[in-house]
Amino acid sequence: MTLCPIAIVAGCKKCPAFKACPLKGVIGDYKEAPPTQPPSGSGEKKP
């Protein structure tokens, strides 16, 4: 639930205090990107 008035109107990433905001994931709409995993090598094999 977004409680921050700036996050409601413009979104967390457009807020001027985005880098310093300790609550962007609690009261804002910011969500961290899921960690990416390297390719597992179980795909196609090259001849």
Residue 34 within any structural domain of the chain: no
- Look at residue 44 in the predicted model and tell me its pLDDT: 62
The larger pLDDT score, comparing residue 28 to residue 43, is at 28
Q: How far is CA 9 from the centre of its chain?
A: 17
Spell out the SS3 assignment of 12-43: HHHCCCCCCCCCCCCCCCCCCCCCCCCCCCCC
Domain count, the chain: 1
Claim: this prediction has a pTM higher than 0.85: no
- 5-40 residue pLDDT tens: 888 888 888 888 888 888 887 888 788 777 787 666
- Any domain includes 45: no
Q: Which domain holds residue 3?
A: 1-27
Give, in degrees to the nearest 5, the angle at Cα 37 between 12 and 26. 25
Whether the pLDDT of residue 45 is over 70: the answer is no
Q: Which two tokens stand for residue 31?
A: 């969500």
pLDDT at 27: 83
